Amino acid sequence: MKVKDMTQIPVIDLQAAFSGAPGALDAAADELQFACENIGFLYIKGHGVDEGIVDSTFAAAKVFHDQPLEQKLKILVNENMQGYMPIHGSTTRSSKLAGASKPNENEAFFLQREIPPTHPKFGSPQRTANVWPDGLPGFKEAVLTYYKAMDGLIARLLPLYARALDMPVDFFANAFQESMSTLRLTHYPKMEYAEGSFGVAPHTDSSFITLLAQNKIAGLQLMSQGGEWINAPAIDGTFVVNTGDMLNRWSNGRFLSTPHRAYNLSNTERYAIPYFCHPDPDFAMKCIPSCTSEQNPPKFPTQTSLEYIEWHKSRNYHHVNKELKEVA
């Protein structure tokens, strides 16, 4: 059933669609279309991801961030966004909603697809080796297992997104052969926020879509189309899924990339493990045919995902942006 209240985030059950039940894929695509055109966020259940894998990844995030700072700084984040970013390592500047916000109150570990040195594009942007911490047995295996599970979930979701955009089920297949997706293990410390401070300031994601596994501690808020901040409660066994800027641009603005922000308002530490799905680095995102017409010409230039992500990094991360380095 389609949601009528635009201040509510819909929950879509994908079990029937993923199991191949007759008519279920198009029915789920209709629900997805409504959510993406009117809200920009949704929950999914029946997604097929083992909860044990999710739990192990949250545990790995805690183990990593529990290390002494000097240990984490040994793998300081590089310009390809791999490694450890300390607290205050980013300032949200790609969104006007952030205003004059202060550096974000979180620390994070970033990893991308594991690329072997024998890969023909090894060493090119977004095709470099991940950096890994020493002395954390099982950490690498746990987070790569989760990354692989997210890859699998994306593969199951792409036909739904294609149908939701009135395209053939295989429309996105060629764009995600070796996506340059990023997994981020984020720690929000227990704290009181000063004016203008956020866990993550209001922003839109750079991604095609973002998958956020649920933990017990909520902290995500999104902006309704009426300009109201809405809490996204933690619903066991689900993922929050939101459209990012790449899909918004690719769909000619049809699918909303909705501003959101994060706090830790609990009395304990908070962790998040968002997976940011980006198309293959060199894939050119030309306006989707169903999203343009003579009366509605393309609003955005054709652009590769690498071109967009490089711009986004340069705006938000101190170690990439020279201006931000100077004021940090």
Q: What is the torsional sign of CA 207, 94, 242, 235?
A: positive
Kindly state whether residue 161 falls inside one of the protein's structural domains: yes
Q: Evaluate whether 51 touches 64 at the Cβ level (below 8 Å).
A: no
**For the whole prediction, is pTM greater than 0.85?**
yes
Q: Is 54 left (phi over 0), alpha (psi -120 to 50) or beta?
A: alpha
Integer CA distances (angstroms), 77 to 69, 80, 91, 109, 212, in order: 13, 8, 15, 8, 22
Task: Give 183's strand partners.
Answer: 111, 275
For 281-305, the pLDDT digits (tens) are: 999 999 999 999 999 999 999 999 9
Kindly state whether residue 18 falls inside one of the protein's structural domains: yes
Task: Give 90's strand partners.
Answer: 317
Residue 204: CATH number of its domain = 2.60.120.330
Output the CA angle 100-103-106, nearest 5 degrees.
140
Which residues neighbour 70 within 8 Å (Cβ) at sequence distance 6 or greater?
none
Which pLDDT value is given to residue 180? 87
Containing domain of residue 213, as a range?
Answer: 11-231+246-327
Q: What is the torsional sign of CA 155, 273, 280, 315?
A: positive
Which pLDDT value is given to residue 22? 97
Kindly state whether residue 1 falls inside one of the protein's structural domains: no
Kindly state whether residue 21 falls inside one of the protein's structural domains: yes
Which pLDDT value is given to residue 96? 55
Q: Evaluate whether 163 touches 25 at the Cβ level (below 8 Å).
A: yes
Number of domains, the chain: 1
Kindly state whether residue 2 falls inside one of the protein's structural domains: no
Which pLDDT value is given to residue 193? 84
Kindly state whether residue 240 falls inside one of the protein's structural domains: no
Strand, coil or helix: 120: coil
**In which residue ranges of the chain is pLDDT below 50?**
1-4, 317, 320, 322-328
For 145-186, the pLDDT digits (tens) are: 999 999 999 999 999 999 999 999 999 999 999 998 999 999
Q: What number of CA atoms fall less than 13 Å from residue 202's CA on the CB side?
A: 17
Kindly state whether residue 5 falls inside one of the protein's structural domains: no
The Cα–Cα gap between 201 and 140 comes to 29
Closest CA relative to residue 246, chosen from 172, 177, 164, 319: 172
Strand, coil or helix: 15: helix
Which pLDDT value is given to residue 92? 61
Which pLDDT value is given to residue 315? 64
Kindly state whether residue 199 falls inside one of the protein's structural domains: yes
